[in-house]
Structure 1
Amino acid sequence: MAPVPTLKSEKERKARQLIEFANSIPDRISGPTTDRSLVADLQEHVQTLPMQAPSARVAEFNTKGTELWNLSTRLSRSDDAPQQRLLYLLRAFAFGLLDCAQLRRSISSANCVRLLKVAFKAAKFCINSDALEHALKVLERVASYLEEFDKIDEELSPEDIALRAKLKSEYHILRTTLNITIAHIAADPDSAEELADTLYEIGKDLFAKKQYETAARWLGRAYDVLSEQEQEVLSNSAIELRLAIMQQLTKALILTRTPESLGKGRVMLAFIDM
């Protein structure tokens, strides 16, 4: 009678399959023609990630993830680059392996920064390739790492603190870019309202930090998203949101204190009072 698989043995089996698959990828790409089933296999394996790598295989996951990431970078720069779908799946898979390796360990600020930089590149590539579901998945992991970054009990230098703020800003920009892309594809009032609300929250946060010019830019985007919709199809909550955006945008424009922003602020104020 065959032994009943334990959770540990099942995790080891899945980890072994992932590593065996990762090892097979370079040969399947570098042959006379790319293995046509590779895209489907990559898609299947990407969907299983992340998983926590067994402790004995952490180094393997880290090494293979790095090797495949470097391979994807070289391929994207070559004259005979493979199809875009293969490239974005390869990047998502490579990041996934690095992510699996990290899940086993307590994270340091250096490791966190390294993974975030890889994740941002993967997410950007996926967004530019219209692989929105993969971009969303990667950015969900980014959000988790940013939370962990805040909890790291290390003495951070002023440079580290500035870097953390920059990484958070890049995450919000990428997430917003993704939302904009999704909204353009969906092109419905509900998606527009959700996107406008996201942009509004970013603008409000920047306004609270007295970054009035940048706040006005984000609030202006929020206003534009709702203004592009037919007003009669907007819900009551969307109409209220639009008014709140206009009020906050007016304040940001006036406090920016340039001739152009003051002019726009006066126009917006007159529009609110109509």
Structure 2
Amino acid sequence: PWEEAEHKDWEAERMAVYAAQVDCLDQNIGRILGTLEEIGAEENTVVMFLSDNGATERYPKAKPDGSFYLDNEETTWRTDGTRTKPVVPGVMPGPADTFGGYGPEWAHVSNTPVRGYKQSSFEGGILTPLIVKWPGKIEETGGITHQVGHVIDMMPTCLEIAGGEYPRKYLDREILPLEGKSLVPIFEGKERDGHSALFWEIVGHRAARKGDWKLVGRTGEPWELYDLKTDRAELIDLAAQKPEMAKELETLYRDWSERCNEGR
């Protein structure tokens, strides 16, 4: 709880820096949109803004010699080699000689009510917003849809909007077919014929989703099964109660994983 935080000023500063970065991003997106309007391209431009993952709880940790590491032995992330200050109370984040994060507590605030963080296959790691501006096509300003999409849908979406055609070959090499589906029907306010199943994997964090059923598990650990329709926070593991569904999703995941690793 905030009342029990030992270094309130430092913790507040970490969130303030994060908020300032979000504000900076927002202002500069506004500059881009303003420029499109100034040059007369606003009505002929589709703008899509997508977050890449949920909040991260990771941040550089101090080493005894005053340098830091982020799950590795890096001592600086600056291109000029300058050592950065450790992320510890008393060192306020923000200046060029700092490199930090806002920690698990603020990450939890950012991701509430969903579970997990960046690099997790729980919703806290993969549930992200997509904001789209398409003059003449998206009529409802501020409209919200809860239809499920995936980053693999971005390419077919752009191809459909631009009237492009996905190539079959590049330099005499066969190109793998697109696995995504265009999001254009959703943008037009229609119900899309979505994916029969979707899959995720990053550094051993795995997930498969079919409809509202989602299977989650790290490599070497038991799978967990959740009904996202009634349990978006993924707190009630139904793997024991629904073994057939868990097995079906596991089989789908393994088939996908094996196919993705072919030729490696």
Structure 1 length as normaliser, TM-score? 0.28
Whichever of the two has the greater Rg, that structure is: 1
Structure 2 length as normaliser, TM-score? 0.29
Q: Which has the higher contact order (CA 8 A, sep 6+)?
A: 2
More helix by share: 1
More strand by share: 2
